[in-house]
Amino acid sequence: MDSENGPVARLVYQRERERERERERERERERERERESERERERERERESERERERERERERERDRRDERERQKGTREIELSDQKDEGERERRDEELSPLAAISLLALLSASPRYQRRDELVLHKVK
């Protein structure tokens, strides 16, 4: 019987060891799946962080564009105001002040060419 128990016991022992090795391999595969899942979660967190950084960069670019439009709008308003002021100055420069009109009238009335009153015409007198 010992001779039979010996090989049977050894066979039972070998099978038990094989099952234990298989359970250990299964635990190792499970740990590897967990590590891979963790790596995938980490990659997803990194992708989300990158998307958030890109959204922030886009918001910053939009703020910059808005600021530039506001700056240009202000510059345009200043330029228009300057043009208006320049036009006003040119218009005033073209007009004769009352004193200049009187001086011109005196000069013209002294000139023999404009002795006749109906030939004397003054434009743009304030």
Same domain assignment for residues 51 and 83: yes
Same domain assignment for residues 58 and 45: yes
Q: What is the pLDDT of residues 73-89, one digit of tens each?
A: 778 787 778 888 887 87
- C-beta of residue 108 within 8 angstroms of C-beta of residue 114: yes
Q: Which residue shows structure tokens 């001779």?
A: 3
Same domain assignment for residues 89 and 107: no
Instruction: Please indicate, yes or no, whether the overall pTM of this predicted structure exceeds 0.85.
Output: no
Same domain assignment for residues 83 and 111: no
- Three-state SS at 20: helix
Which pair of structure tokens corresponds to residue 68? 């530039």
Query: In terms of Cα–Cα distance, which of 89, 108, 99, 104 is closest to 126?
Result: 99
> What is the domain count for the chain?
2
Q: What is the pLDDT of residues 82-112, one digit of tens each?
A: 888 887 877 776 666 777 777 777 777 676 6
Q: What is the pLDDT of residues 40-82, one digit of tens each?
A: 999 999 999 999 999 999 999 999 998 888 888 778 787 778 8
Domain of 69 in residue numbering reads as: 2-94
Same domain assignment for residues 55 and 74: yes
How many CA atoms are closer than 13 Å to the CA of 27, on its beta-carbon side?
6
